[in-house]
Amino acid sequence: MKNAAARWRSWLTNRRVDRARWALAIVLLLAAAVLPPVSLYLEGQGMIESARFEIVLGVTSLILALWAVSYNLMLGYAGMVSFAHAAYYGVGAYTVAILLQRYQISYFAALAAAPLVAAIVGIITGFVALRAVRLYFSLLTLAISQLLYSVAEGWYSVTGGDNGINGIVTPDQLTDYPTLYYFVAAIVGVSLLLMFVLTRSPFGAALLAIRENRERARSVGINVKAYELAVYTIAALFAGVAGALFPLVQPSVVPGMLFWTENATPVVVTLLGGVGSFLGPGFGAFIFTGLNNSLSRDFPYQLDVLLGAIVLGVVLLVPGGFASVPGLVAQLRRRVVGEETPSIEAETKGEAIRMIDVARAVEAHAIQSEHIERGKVLLKLEGLSRSFGGLRAVDSVNLEIHEGDRHAIIGPNGAGKSTLFNLITGRMRPSAGRVWFDGRDITGRPAHVVAKAGIGRAFQITMIFPRLTVRQNLQYAMLAHRGRTVQPWGLADRIYRDE
């Protein structure tokens, strides 16, 4: 009963925090929606100097929000730390500038082309970067960013070299500042909606699984590299949209937009707002723009130092960013009113032993398994071997397992049991021999292909998706095994919920 009450209080607290976050998001959206008329009113009352300046700041914040949220698709949802996102932002801006200035194409056609160009560049460079993982992936993206910067700086005939492309003219339809603001807000809103749908879909579930545990994701049938390349390309596409909107507030596009230091901007904004929170980077974008504007006016020479100190303080004091403020407020409220923090008692080994009904345990009988007829050969190993230099961990294993068989592999530490399982399940390629499953040769096939073929496995060390619920651990495994994770729409948490 005590644990049940604690779970109930914890559930209520989480619901309150979620409602607070949604309320905060609605307040932000309403504030963004009324910014132009409020700015014009305040200017008319003499309370601010220029409504146009405030509207341009709002447009800048919206563009930055789109750029940061697209970056958060990689960092927050797939756990990928990229230092090339500024490059795709710059590619989008350069695409619009080149089509406008060199080919006199309308801005709206150029706006449609920019994300496609950014996505093409993203998929090509992403294919190269994803040949590595973790730190080495990040270093490759950094090199890609510098490579694209060098191209932009040196290709004078197309990009204007280090002079960039200047004098970009805003289309006549967008010369009115409120109209410009709502046009950008509409583009950003549609882009955010598409990304939100994606994160809640089975495709988004696959990204969360990869973020939590790459090896476990492979073992349930997720092609990790393919999904990482897909989200990398999608993030580049939306960064291209943000970059395409940039010339509306800045009539010049220069190579410095692609320089490696510019990659710090989406990272900082995401950290300010909250990694993994969908609208967190949106909050961070408005906060960052406001801080940047006020500090650059009052402390122009200390801007970078002050911004760095503020970001460092947020990361240390509020690790979850401003999106986690409602949760922190809830904790502070409980402390002030003296309410106990909801906690669920962990069952220790000693507690579990104490609770055993010894009398019933003694009377228990072994469970008799049902008799299963032995069928065809399901798993067959032929001369399977694996060597590590001069060490032969698995040596010419021949084995047949029929349908209905229960087979055990027994041996001392170092005998090669785990290596044998890794060879069967695709985590390692054999040095020699073949693996057949249900009549198909699966020798050396990737782990996700072997999993989808019907071979499941458990690991010696428990491997789960730690920050997902028990239900999500089961749901996402089912989604992957049944091939649903390619679906970019629908609510993943409701699929197979009743099974």
CA distance 357 to 351: 12
CA distance 139 to 119: 20
406 and 321 in one domain?
A: no
CA distance 93 to 396: 59
At 443, which CATH number?
A: 3.40.50.300
- Whether 256 is covered by a domain: the verdict is yes
Alpha-carbon torsion (194, 199, 204, 208), positive or negative: positive
- For residue 456, the model assigns a pLDDT of 85
Q: Strands, E, within 293-341: which ranges?
A: none
285 and 213 in one domain?
A: yes
Residue 112, phi-psi category: left (phi > 0), alpha (psi -120 to 50), beta (remainder):
alpha
Q: Which long-range contacts (CB under 8 A, 24 or more apart) does 53-56 make?
A: 55/177, 55/178, 55/180, 55/181, 56/177, 56/249
Give the Å distances, CA to CA, from 328 to 245, 280, 317, 344, 449.
35, 15, 10, 19, 43
Number of structural domains (the chain) is: 2
325 and 259 in one domain?
A: yes
- Whether 299 is covered by a domain: the verdict is yes
143 and 29 in one domain?
A: yes
Looking up tokens 């995401």 gives 270
- Whether 86 is covered by a domain: the verdict is yes
- Whether 184 is covered by a domain: the verdict is yes
Give the Å distances, CA to CA, from 109 to 122, 221, 252, 297.
20, 40, 19, 37
Quote the tokens at residue 38: 């409020």
Quote the tokens at residue 82: 């990229």
197 and 74 in one domain?
A: yes
- For residue 12, the model assigns a pLDDT of 47
CA nearest 183: which of 194, 171, 195? 171
382 and 320 in one domain?
A: no
Looking up tokens 């973020």 gives 211
24 and 135 in one domain?
A: yes
- Whether 494 is covered by a domain: the verdict is no
Please answer whether residues 200 and 491 qualify as being in contact, where contact means their C-beta atoms are separated by less than 8 angstroms. yes
CA nearest 102: which of 185, 41, 158, 169? 158
136 and 37 in one domain?
A: yes
- Mutual angle of helices 470-481 and 202-212, in 10-degree steps: 110
Looking up tokens 């090669």 gives 416
387 and 311 in one domain?
A: no
CA distance 76 to 271: 10
CA nearest 423: which of 381, 375, 468? 381
Q: Which residues contact 166 (CB under 8 A, 6 or more apart)?
A: 160, 251, 252
- For residue 203, the model assigns a pLDDT of 97
At 277, which CATH number?
A: 1.10.3470
- For residue 255, the model assigns a pLDDT of 95
CA distance 405 to 376: 10
- What predicted TM-score, i.e. pTM, was given to this entire model? 0.87
- Whether 196 is covered by a domain: the verdict is yes
19 and 158 in one domain?
A: yes
270 strand-pairing partners: none
- Centre a 10 Å sphere on the Cβ of residue 133 and count the other Cβ atoms it contains: 14
CA distance 195 to 201: 10
Query: Can you say how many angstroms the Cα of residue 353 is from the centroid of all Cα atoms in its chain?
Result: 42
Q: What is the pLDDT along the chain (499 residues), one digit of tens a residue?
A: 445 454 445 544 556 656 766 777 788 788 888 889 999 888 888 888 888 999 999 999 999 999 999 999 999 999 999 999 999 999 999 999 999 988 889 999 999 999 999 999 999 999 999 999 889 999 999 999 999 999 999 999 999 998 999 989 889 899 999 999 999 999 999 999 999 999 999 999 999 999 999 999 999 999 999 999 999 999 999 999 999 999 999 999 999 999 988 999 999 999 888 887 898 899 899 989 988 888 887 787 777 788 788 878 887 888 888 777 777 776 777 777 765 555 544 444 455 556 666 566 556 565 555 666 677 889 999 999 999 888 888 999 999 999 888 888 888 888 888 899 999 999 899 999 999 999 899 998 999 999 988 888 888 777 889 989 889 999 999 999 889 999 999 999 999 888 7
H or E, element range at 212: helix 202-212
387 and 305 in one domain?
A: no
* DSSP code of residue 278: S
- For residue 476, the model assigns a pLDDT of 93
293 and 440 in one domain?
A: no
- Whether 473 is covered by a domain: the verdict is no
H or E, element range at 225: helix 224-245
- Whether 291 is covered by a domain: the verdict is yes
Please answer whether residues 78 and 60 qualify as being in contact, where contact means their C-beta atoms are separated by less than 8 angstroms. no
Domain of residue 141: give its range: 2-329
Please answer whether residues 148 and 90 qualify as being in contact, where contact means their C-beta atoms are separated by less than 8 angstroms. yes
Give the Å distances, CA to CA, from 39 to 57, 204, 475.
11, 38, 48
